[in-house]
């Protein structure tokens, strides 16, 4: 008779219902790998009378409860899986579960990005496992890859398309000329978006994921206030089209880059050259591109959201814990790498930049722009002027590689000394 490992599920929504489904569908394989049967015993839901939840409970032989204590106080439940999302009450429930010696699996990126340090310390204190593979890029096993497979490597750059909603929207806007709102409505209907899609379109969801990725890649803990975040809200179809004409795709990129002993983390729309592997990542798919001294360049690609991919990652964490229990090695950190946090100064953040300007269609305007660029020691890589409407012309500039400090000088002077209207500024990734 195999040993039974009993699980308490907090939340029986889209991802939650995928967990018992996978455990049952792959029971034999999981039994061989862990030597145990993993069983969802109870599920905590707000209302036990909801018909859809009752049907799921009956299908998977799960006891529904609206009392969290029925799970937390059940000595037979050794793992709690939190799939409720948001900070509270998830944080309280996870803390209580750890304090009672239960191992925890969660997909909650908001919580891990903002309170991960505290929860990891609590798990350590109570010799419990805390795993959260599904919190970043849904079905892509990226955290385990960085923590284990790349443990011997020195990572220098992590670039990620880590928000499926915005990537879906950008793809639909470019390839099917859909409006911003149409594309967002579709992403919501397809179930990729957060309950409040503000977190998707304003880059917040991606920033949470980049904070977690930075902890794994560089061992550094940073807060949201240390991440520069810009979403896709202000993006115009003109910029997207112009970028395409110049040989680039605009993508919402999360970037965490190491310079010397410090890192810079940002989320913003960036121009990705068509030749870059990230340019071909479309719709709701996610990808994380890593530069490291040993492996060189590697990219990890797959679905970043959705019930089955996310639940598969959750179950992989459950399997890890089951193996740890069997081998009596629980209580070790998912990511043990720690490094003092240093942030890179603006003078050391280098990139090419895209500037989109509305310029009066008058003599001498270009000269003014060239002088400002020259004074700041920034040079042109590409310049395009679209046909003027008689009053203003749109001018697109791509600079050669320069520091953020110098770019800021250019932008300040454009604002102070010219009547140009600066429509957009974006980083341009290297080939």
Min dist CB 193 to ligand HSE, Å, is: 5
Helix (H, G, I), strand (E, B) or coil at 168: helix
Min dist CB 163 to ligand HSE, Å, is: 4
Tell me how far apart the alpha carbons of residues 421 and 397 are, in angstroms, rounded to a whole number.
13
Which residues does residue 384 pair with via DSSP β-bridges, in sequence order?
396
Nearer to ligand HSE, 310 or 330 (CB): 310
11 is a site residue for ligand HSE (CB under 6 A): no
Min dist CB 191 to ligand HSE, Å, is: 9
Min dist CB 158 to ligand HSE, Å, is: 17
Tell me how far apart the alpha carbons of residues 350 and 345 are, in angstroms, rounded to a whole number.
10
The DSSP line for 318-331 is HHHHHHHHHHT-TT
Choice from 205, 239, 249, 409 touching ligand HSE (CB under 6 A): 205
Sheet holding 36-44, edge to edge: 63-65, 36-44, 3-10, 77-82, 103-106, 130-131
200 is a site residue for ligand HSE (CB under 6 A): yes
Kindly give the pairing relationship between strand 392-399 and strand 380-385.
antiparallel
Min dist CB 357 to ligand HSE, Å, is: 32
Binders of ligand HSE in range 17-76 (CB under 6 A): none
Min dist CB 38 to ligand HSE, Å, is: 24
Nearer to ligand HSE, 269 or 355 (CB): 269
On whether the CB atoms of residues 286 and 167 are closer than 8 A, the answer is: yes
On whether the CB atoms of residues 312 and 318 are closer than 8 A, the answer is: no
Tokens 């969660």 belong to: 106
Nearer to ligand HSE, 208 or 248 (CB): 208
What's the burial of 112, exposed, middle or buried (CB within 10 Å: 0-12/13-18/19+)?
buried
Site pattern 118..157 for ligand HSE (x: CB under 6 A)? --------------------x-------------------
On whether the CB atoms of residues 270 and 253 are closer than 8 A, the answer is: yes
Is 4 catalytic? The answer is: no
Which residues does residue 400 pair with via DSSP β-bridges, in sequence order?
none
Q: Which stretch binds ligand HSE (CB under 6 A): 2-10, 32-40, 189-197, 287-295?
A: 189-197
Q: Which stretch binds ligand HSE (CB under 6 A): 190-198, 273-281, 312-320, 363-371?
A: 190-198
Min dist CB 430 to ligand HSE, Å, is: 25
Nearer to ligand HSE, 192 or 334 (CB): 192
Binders of ligand HSE in range 266-325 (CB under 6 A): 304-305
Tell me how far apart the alpha carbons of residues 245 and 278 are, in angstroms, rounded to a whole number.
18
82 is a site residue for ligand HSE (CB under 6 A): no
231 is a site residue for ligand HSE (CB under 6 A): no
On whether the CB atoms of residues 326 and 34 are closer than 8 A, the answer is: yes
254 is a site residue for ligand HSE (CB under 6 A): no
Residues 6+ apart with CB under 8 A from 287: 140, 160, 161, 277, 278, 281, 299, 300, 301, 302
Nearer to ligand HSE, 205 or 409 (CB): 205
Tell me how far apart the alpha carbons of residues 109 and 204 are, in angstroms, rounded to a whole number.
11
Which residues does residue 252 pair with via DSSP β-bridges, in sequence order?
269
Site pattern 155..184 for ligand HSE (x: CB under 6 A)? --------xxx-------------------
Nearer to ligand HSE, 233 or 339 (CB): 233
Min dist CB 160 to ligand HSE, Å, is: 11
Q: Which uninterrupted H or E stretch holds 121?
A: helix 109-125
Nearer to ligand HSE, 30 or 193 (CB): 193
Nearer to ligand HSE, 199 or 351 (CB): 199
What's the burial of 145, exposed, middle or buried (CB within 10 Å: 0-12/13-18/19+)?
middle
The residue from 102, 109, 209, 406 that is catalytic is 209
Total binding residues for ligand HSE by CB under 6 A?
11
Report, as residue numbers or ranges, the catalytic residues: 209
Contacting positions for ligand HSE (CB under 6 A): 138, 163-165, 192-194, 200, 205, 304-305
């Amino acid at each position: 008779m195999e040993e039974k490992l009993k699980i308490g599920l907090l939340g029986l929504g889209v991802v939650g219902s995928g967990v018992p489904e996978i455990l049952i569908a792959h029971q034999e394989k999981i039994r061989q790998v862990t030597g145990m049967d993993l069983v969802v015993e109870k599920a905590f839901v707000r209302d036990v009378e909801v018909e859809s939840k009752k049907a799921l409970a009956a299908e998977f032989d799960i006891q529904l409860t609206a009392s969290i204590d029925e799970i937390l106080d059940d000595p037979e439940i050794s793992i709690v899986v939190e799939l409720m999302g948001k900070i509270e009450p998830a944080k309280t429930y996870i803390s209580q579960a750890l304090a009672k010696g239960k191992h925890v699996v969660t997909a909650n990126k908001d919580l891990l990005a903002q309170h991960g340090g505290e929860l990891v310390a609590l798990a350590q204190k109570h010799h419990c496992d805390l795993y959260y593979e599904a919190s970043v890029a849904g079905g892509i096993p990226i955290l385990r890859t960085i923590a284990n497979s790349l443990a011997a490597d020195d990572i220098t750059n992590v670039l990620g398309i880590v928000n499926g909603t915005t990537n879906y929207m950008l793809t639909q806007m470019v390839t099917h000329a859909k409006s911003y709102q149409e594309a967002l409505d579709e992403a919501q209907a397809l179930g990729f978006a957060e309950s409040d899609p503000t977190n998707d379109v304003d880059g917040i969801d991606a920033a949470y994921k980049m904070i977690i990725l930075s902890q794994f890649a560089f061992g550094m803990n940073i807060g949201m206030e240390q991440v520069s975040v810009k979403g896709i809200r202000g993006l115009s179809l003109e910029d997207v089209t112009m970028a395409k004409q110049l040989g680039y795709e605009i993508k919402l990129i999360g970037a965490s880059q190491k310079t010397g002993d410090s890192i810079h983390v940002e989320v913003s729309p960036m121009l990705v050259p068509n030749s870059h592997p990230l340019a071909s990542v479309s719709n709701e798919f996610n990808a994380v591109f890593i530069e490291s001294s040993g492996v060189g360049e590697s990219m990890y690609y797959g679905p970043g959201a959705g019930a089955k991919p996310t639940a598969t990652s959750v179950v992989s964490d459950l399997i890890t814990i089951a193996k740890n229990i069997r081998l009596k090695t629980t209580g070790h950190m998912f990511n043990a790498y720690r490094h003092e946090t240093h942030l890179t100064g603006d003078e050391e953040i280098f990139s090419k930049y895209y500037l989109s300007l509305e310029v009066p269609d008058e003599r001498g305007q270009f000269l003014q722009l060239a002088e400002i660029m020259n004074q700041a020691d920034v040079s042109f890589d590409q310049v395009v002027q679209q046909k003027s409407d008689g009053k203003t012309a749109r001018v697109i500039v791509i600079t050669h590689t320069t520091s953020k400090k110098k770019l800021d000088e250019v932008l300040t002077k454009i604002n102070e000394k010219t009547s140009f209207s600066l429509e957009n500024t974006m980083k341009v990734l290297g080939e």
